[in-house]
Structure 1
Amino acid sequence: MEIGIVGPGAIGLLFAFYLQKNGQDVTLYTRTVEQSERLEKCGITCVQNGIRETVFPHVSPLENINNGRHDYTFVAVKQYHLEDVIPYLQAKKRLVFLQNGMGHLHLLQQIQGASVAVGIVEHGAKKENVSIVHHTGVGSTKFGFIHGERKQFEPLFTAFSSNLFPVVVENDWKQTMINKLVVNACINPLTALFGIQNGELLTNPSFHKVMKQVFSEVMGVVGNIQCKEHWDRVCTVCENTAHNTSSMLTDIHNNRKTEIDAIVGYLIQEAKKQQKSVPTLSFLYHSIKGLER
């Protein structure tokens, strides 16, 4: 299959690596010519459990995306870049969006003339440089369909063919997105604010108490159904990724814009609609915005 991937961040590199490794015809699209030239020369190196492997997909600047006739196009840019990227995708017939948070759903629902899916990514991935990504945690990718039918995406479900990259189809994709949103909201902003690895939210009693407070407000917004199940999931992710640095903390360290709007900003907007007070989430939101450079 011919597959396009927009965005050479950690997730974009990870998807490009595993799809190319499995024999798919992958083209990775970058924002700049310089990125394309570097990746064309170096390829994509994935490091997993100390093993390094390199593949060489096609690479091209985003402005050339409509020169390729892709069976599927993955969009792996951060949520705040979507409005800039979507105009380049008008000719694409099958799109899969891989963003965190839920603030972008209204944009996806407005896309006309294409089958649109979301991929909820549960892998741990850390970008070392332009061409090297560390696969820090094996999870799964859960697919849900916004526009179009399952059968239009079925060829993708075997495209990875690796026990390190399992794929699941979710009938209730919106609930799956909420599950991940709860986890992201409870972990990412706190680790970014305190400058800690994920596991310290469990081992430090004070940080743990703050995380419970954040969780309580999040559940008040998304609904308290299956509250224990959500909390257990948050704690399990903290435990399984104890030595990981969250993407939000990495963004702060690298003086980049974070996804705080996509995650906590979305929850605050939902709370306003419900006329609910979320002072801890508001504090978190403005704290992270203050740390952004």
Structure 2
Amino acid sequence: MEIGIVGPGAIGLLFAFYLQKNEQDVTLYTRTVEQSEHLNKCGITCVQNGMRETVFPRVSPLENIKNETHDYTFIAVKQYHLEEILPYLQAEKRLIFLQNGMGHLHLLQQIQGASVAIGIVEHGAKKENASIVHHTGVGSTKFGLIHGEKKQFEPLLPAFSSGLFPVALENDWKRIMINKLVVNACINPLTALFGVQNGELLTNPSFHKVMKQVFSEVMGIVGDLQCGEYWERVCTVCENTAHNISSMLTDIRNNRKTEVDAIVGYLIQEAEKQQKSVPTLSFLYHSIKGLER
């Protein structure tokens, strides 16, 4: 099966590693020629439970994707890069988007001429350098159909045969996206603002109280009555990833743009539509925007 992956970030490297390891025909697309040359030389190394393994998929600059066709193409760039990436993908027939947040759904619904799915990734992944990714937490990936036929994506599932990379097609994918959005909104911006690992949101009483305030505002927006179940999920993720540094904190420390617009910004927009006041989320949003470089 010929599979394209756009974006050599932590998730892009992780998907490329496991698909290539399962003997799929993978091409990873990078922004620059220098990135592709480095990855073609070094391969992709995945570190999991102290074990290291390297695979060698093809790697090519993004501009070359227009000359190729793939059975499936994964887009693993940050949400704020999507609009500049989409023109390169006009020939692709099956697209799977792996972004955090929900602010991009309206953009995906406008794509014509292709079947479109989203992938909700629950793995922990941390990029050590351009060619090494740490698989820090085994989760699952759930695919949901934006438009097209479900049967078009069913042949993709056997491409992920590893027990460390379970996948499934979900009908109620929006609920799963909301679940992940709640977790991301409660953890990522707070760890970025406070400069702490995920677990400190549980062990520090003051941070824990702020996280509850954020959670309360988020649940008021998403309108789900199962607050106890969602709160338990947030705390479980904090506990299971206690020593992890969130992607948003990593972005702040590396002077990169964050995904705060895709996560907190989206929630604020939804609150405005519902005419609800969300002072804590607003404070969080502007605080992170102020820290961005």
Shorter-chain TM band = over 0.9
Structure 2: gaps (5+ residues):
none
- Provide the residue aligned with 1:233 in structure 2: 233
Please state how far the C-alpha of 1:69 moved relative to its aligned partner. 1.5
- Mapping 1:40-189, distance limit 5 Å: 40-189=40-189
Q: Match for residue 22 of structure 2? A: 22
Give the match for residue 224 of structure 1. 224
Quote how far apart the aligned CAs of 1:224 are. Answer: 3.5
Give the TM-score of the pair, scaled to structure 1: 0.99
SS at match of 1:45: strand
Structure 1 counterpart of 2:266 = 266
In structure 2, C-alpha distance between the alignment counterparts of 1:155 and 1:135, rounded to whole Å: 25
CA distance in 1, matches of 2:225, 2:112: 34
- Return the alpha-carbon distance in structure 1 between the equivalents of residues 124 and 4 of structure 2: 22
SS of 1:280 mapped into structure 2: helix
Q: Which runs of 5+ in 1 are unaligned?
A: none
Contact 2:120 2:143 in 1 (8 A): yes
**Contact 2:79-2:104 at 8 Å conserved across structures:** yes
Matches within 5 A, 1:269-280: 269-280=269-280
1-structure distance, mates of 2:3, 2:82 = 19
Deviations 1:105-160 (A, max 9, x none): 01100000100000000000000111000000000001100011111001111101
Structure 1 stretches of 4+ moved >6 Å: none
Give the aligned partner of residue 206 of structure 1. Answer: 206
Counterpart of 1:283 in structure 2 is: 283
TM-score, length-scaled by structure 2: 0.99
* Matches of 2:158 and 2:205, distance apart in 1: 43
Count of aligned residue pairs for this structure pair:
293
User: Which residue in the other structure is 1:246 paired with?
Assistant: 246
CA contact (8 A) 2:124 2:139 kept: yes
In 1, are the aligned partners of 2:69 and 2:91 still within 8 Å (CA)? no
Amino acid at match of 1:288: I
Root mean square deviation of aligned Cα: 0.6
- CA distance, structure 2, for counterparts of residue 24 and residue 168 of structure 1: 18
Amino acid at match of 2:229: E
Identity, % of aligned positions: 88
